[in-house]
Amino acid sequence: MDGSTIRTVFGNELRGALRDRTLTTHFIVIPLLLYPVMLWLGITVALLYDAGSEDTSYRVGISPGIDPALAGELRADPSIDAFFVSRGAETGGPAGGFDATAGPVPGGDGLPGGCVITADLSTDRGRTAAGLLEGLARDVRAAGFARLRDSLGIGRAEWEVFRISTSNEAGGRDMGGFILGLLLPATFAVMVSIGCFYTAVDATAGERERGTIETLLSTGADRFSILAGKYLSVLVSGMTSGLLNTASMILCVSAILGPLLRSEGEEISFAVEPGAAFSAVFASALLSALLSALMIASSSLARNYKEGQAMVTPVYLLSVLPVIFMQDPSISFSVSTAAVPVLNAALLLRDSLTGPVEPLPMIVSAVSTALFCLAALWAASSLLSREEAAFPGEATGKRSLFSLLRGRRSIGHA
């Protein structure tokens, strides 16, 4: 391996990526602007939805025999247009185009009477109308309990028998880490993958399409050193994208969600501990190292940019798949999960935001990722050593990756 060749190829690839507007957009601009735009759109849509829901009214049918107090509450609620119907609620199913109906349930055999609410719960209006009716029915029942309590001369404390309350022991920083852990890992994997995607395709298939890779391979430089230089440039792009993504998320959540949550009485802080910052850098390095190697290897055979994108896309999709398991809180960053590529980086980032992380799983994840990277780079180096892969023709495009790896013909100075 030649260090001078690695530095030269790495510098050329990185300068070329920074000069390319498409590449800089994908691994610098998008990670910086994604979260502000997403949060702004989310808050705007939520405010518009709340403003619209305040003026929305629901048609509710009231069957004869319903509790008079509940009927009065339904007619007094401004969000409900109440109509008395002769039938429909007792037989189930909203009648007359109502969003929901309320009918009586007769008492008997020692059981009290009540009401039955019928609505189409597969629709948003049906669920909302049913929720409104249930809330009013609970208020009427609570008022009935209060009247019974007063008639029996029982104090409020004795009537409650015992009280239940929940106290949050987590501090403001713990709650901030919990929220960031829910939001950050999923998009973190996507951003790192995008940061590696385009630079990997450009470093292999793009250069072959421009006709410059033949010149580079003809210089007599060591193939693995050339590959290592390209690999490092892709790794830096992925890490840059991941770290910018993380910083943008923390700043946006702190600046936009923080004041909203504090206005609701939540004591919350999004300050990041030094250990969590180190873990974020480590997770970004892990994920970038793995995806860079896999994408460089998968696009090594591509003859043009279009083929390169098609070959790298499966790696991109596979990198996002393990993030599905992030929604399960029982899965944590342990020795066993640290051996699973991609998942280990996402779990490390999530768990480091809510508390300290043990060093042993970090060592296991580093070793596991290094083995995968070496295997992928060995495959890519073997492909570049084959003459038909380095200088592909029409016949070469029909050959499989496996057959090229087994091939005997190679360039003499590889």
pLDDT of residue 347: 87
User: What does each C-alpha distance from 361 to 246, 328, 347, 348 come to in angstroms?
Assistant: 22, 19, 11, 9
pLDDT of residue 41: 81
pLDDT of residue 87: 58
Instruction: In whole angstroms, give the CA distance from residue 82 to residue 74.
Output: 6
Instruction: In whole angstroms, give the CA distance from residue 100 to residue 60.
Output: 5
Instruction: In whole angstroms, give the CA distance from residue 272 to residue 25.
Output: 27
Beta bridge partners of 83: 61
Pairing of strands 114-119, 100-105: antiparallel
Instruction: In whole angstroms, give the CA distance from residue 33 to residue 20.
Output: 18
Beta bridge partners of 64: none
Both tokens of 82, joined, read 């109440």
- Give the SS3 label for residue 328: coil
User: What does each C-alpha distance from 46 to 43, 101, 117, 163, 410 come to in angstroms?
Assistant: 5, 28, 28, 35, 61
pLDDT of residue 223: 77
pLDDT of residue 96: 61
pLDDT of residue 198: 86
Instruction: In whole angstroms, give the CA distance from residue 149 to residue 41.
Output: 50
Beta bridge partners of 58: 80
The pLDDT profile of the chain, 414 residues, written as one tens digit per residue, is 777 888 888 888 888 777 777 777 777 777 777 777 777 787 778 777 777 666 788 888 888 888 888 888 888 888 888 888 775 444 445 556 788 888 888 777 667 778 888 888 888 888 988 999 999 999 998 998 898 888 888 888 888 778 888 887 877 778 888 888 887 887 788 888 888 888 888 888 888 888 777 777 777 777 778 888 888 988 998 888 888 888 888 888 887 777 777 777 777 777 778 888 888 889 889 888 988 888 888 887 788 888 888 888 888 888 777 667 777 777 888 888 888 888 888 888 888 888 888 889 999 999 999 998 888 888 877 776 665 555 555 444 445 455 555 554 444 443
DSSP per position, 174-210: HHHHHHHHHHHHHHHHHHHHHHHHHHHHIIIIIHHHH
Pairing of strands 58-62, 114-119: unpaired
Query: How large is the C-alpha radius of gyration of the chain?
Result: 31
pLDDT of residue 325: 72
User: What does each C-alpha distance from 372 to 240, 269, 270, 287 come to in angstroms?
Assistant: 21, 38, 34, 11
pLDDT of residue 406: 54
Q: For residues 334 and 361, is the Cβ–Cβ distance under 8 A? A: yes
pLDDT of residue 392: 55
- Give the SS3 label for residue 46: helix
pLDDT of residue 135: 92
Specify the DSSP class assigned to residue 304: S
Instruction: In whole angstroms, give the CA distance from residue 28 to residue 18.
Output: 10
Instruction: In whole angstroms, give the CA distance from residue 147 to residue 138.
Output: 14
